[in-house]
Amino acid sequence: MTVHADVYFPTYVAGRDFADRMADRLGDVTERDLVIDATALLSGTSSFAAQLIERLLVEGKADELVVVGAPEDFGRYLEDAAGHAGVAHKLQLSRTFPVGVRP
């Protein structure tokens, strides 16, 4: 199944407050598969990545988070945060669209 992005990242993402605002815009994400289009992203901070993982996968209980086109360093921040939070199995990094979500 091909899916479209739920969120589009701007060129730069930083800080826990900004991650909270992005998560708030998604509303209830319980048991949802989420896709973030990060193809325009040039740089993001580890604090933003950690808070996004916390809000969407830990607190929000989304089933899966797919991040498309993120720079390698930001992808590592997401992977580290997901690993520390025990939700690494819910994170998928993809280089390009289209992406498929797990059945």
What is the CB neighbour count within 10 angstroms for residue 58? 15
H-state helical runs in 1-103? 16-26, 46-53, 72-85
Query: Quick one: which H or E segment has residue 66?
Result: strand 64-68
For residue 1, pLDDT over 50 is answered with no
* pLDDT given at position 50: 98
Which tens digits make up the pLDDT trace of 31-56?
Answer: 999 999 999 999 999 999 999 999 99
**Maximum CA pair distance of the chain?**
33
pLDDT at 20 over 50: yes
Residue, of 82 and 102, whose pLDDT is higher: 82
Helices 46-53 and 16-26: crossing angle in degrees, nearest 10, is 30
Residue-level pLDDT at 53: 98
The letter for the amino acid at 80 is D
Q: Which two tokens stand for residue 84?
A: 């520390």
| Total-model pTM | 0.90
CATH-assigned architecture of domain 7-94: 2-Layer Sandwich (3.30)
